[in-house]
Chain A
Amino acid sequence: MAVPVPFGQYVQLDSPMHRLDARVKIGVTAAFTIALFAVDTWLGLAVVGIMAAIGVTVSRVPVGLAARGIRPIAWLLAFTLVVNSLFPAQASETLVQLGPLAIDAAGLQRGLFFSVRILLLVFGTSLVTLTTSPVALTDGLAQMMRPLAVLRFPVDDAAMMMSIALRFMPTTAEEAERIVVAQSARGARFDTGGPVTRAKAWLPVLVPLFVRLFRRADDLAIAMESRCYRGQGRTRLRQPVMRSTDWIVLVVGLGSALTIALVL
Chain B
Amino acid sequence: MGLILDSASYAYGAGRPFEVPALVGVTLEVQRGSLTLVLGSTGSGKSTLLKVAAGLLQAQRGSVAIDGRPLTLDTARGSVGLVFQDPEAQLFADTLLDDVAFGPKNLGLTPEEAQTSARDALSEVGLDPVAYGARSPFSLSGGEARRAAIAGVLSMAPSYLLADEPTAGLDATGRAAVKRLLLAQRERAGVVVVSHAAEEFLGEADYLMILDAGEVGWAGPAAAAIQSPEIFSAHGLRAPEVLEVQRIAADAGHRFSRYTLDPDEAARMLVGGGV
Residue numbers of A with Cβ under 8 A of B are: 1-4, 175, 178-179, 181-189, 203-205, 207-208, 211-212
Contacts and interface: CB of A to CB of B under 8 A. Distances in A.
Contacts of A178: 84-86, 89
Query: B22, B44, B103 — which one has the most chain A CB atoms within 10 A of its CB?
Result: B103
B267 interface: no
Contacts of B107: 187
Contacts of B82: 181-182, 185
24 contacts: A1-B20, A1-B45, A178-B84, A178-B89, A179-B90, A181-B56, A181-B84, A182-B89, A183-B90, A185-B81, A186-B90, A186-B102, A186-B152, A187-B77, A187-B78, A187-B102, A187-B103, A188-B102, A204-B92, A204-B102, A208-B89, A208-B90, A208-B92, A212-B89
Contacts of A186: 90, 102-103, 106, 152-153, 156
A208 B89 CA distance: 6
A182 B84 contact: yes
A175 B86 CA distance: 10
Interface in B52-66: 54, 56
A35 B97 CA distance: 62
Most buried by B among A185, A187, A211: A185
A182 to B, nearest CB: 4
Contacts of A184: 56, 73
Contacts of A188: 102, 106
Contacts of A205: 92
Contacts of B87: 182
Contacts of A207: 92-93
Given A1-B45, A186-B103, A204 B12 contact: no
B43 A1 contact: yes
B48 interface: yes
Interface of B: 12, 18, 20, 22, 42-45, 47-48, 51, 54, 56, 73, 77-78, 80-82, 84-87, 89-93, 102-103, 106-107, 138, 152-153, 156
A203 B85 CA distance: 20
Given A186-B106, A205-B92, 20 more contacts: A1-B20, A1-B45, A1-B47, A3-B12, A178-B86, A179-B89, A179-B90, A182-B84, A182-B87, A185-B80, A185-B153, A186-B152, A186-B156, A187-B107, A188-B102, A204-B92, A204-B102, A208-B90, A211-B138, A212-B89
Nearest to A188: B106
A211 B88 CA distance: 11
A187 B156 contact: yes
B48 A204 contact: no
A184 B153 CA distance: 11
Contacts of B20: 1, 3-4
B89 A204 contact: no
Contacts of B81: 185
B84 A1 contact: no
Contacts of B78: 187
Contacts of A211: 92, 138
Contacts of B90: 179, 182-183, 186, 204, 208
**3 shortest A-B CB distances, which residue pairs?**
A187-B106, A185-B82, A207-B92
B118 to A, nearest CB: 12
Contact of A4 (B18, B84, B86, B152): B18
Nearest to A207: B92
Contacts of A182: 82, 84, 87, 89-90
B94 to A, nearest CB: 10
Q: Which of A182, A203, A207, A212 has the most CB of B within 10 A?
A: A182
Contacts of B80: 185
A185 B43 contact: no
B238 to A, nearest CB: 20
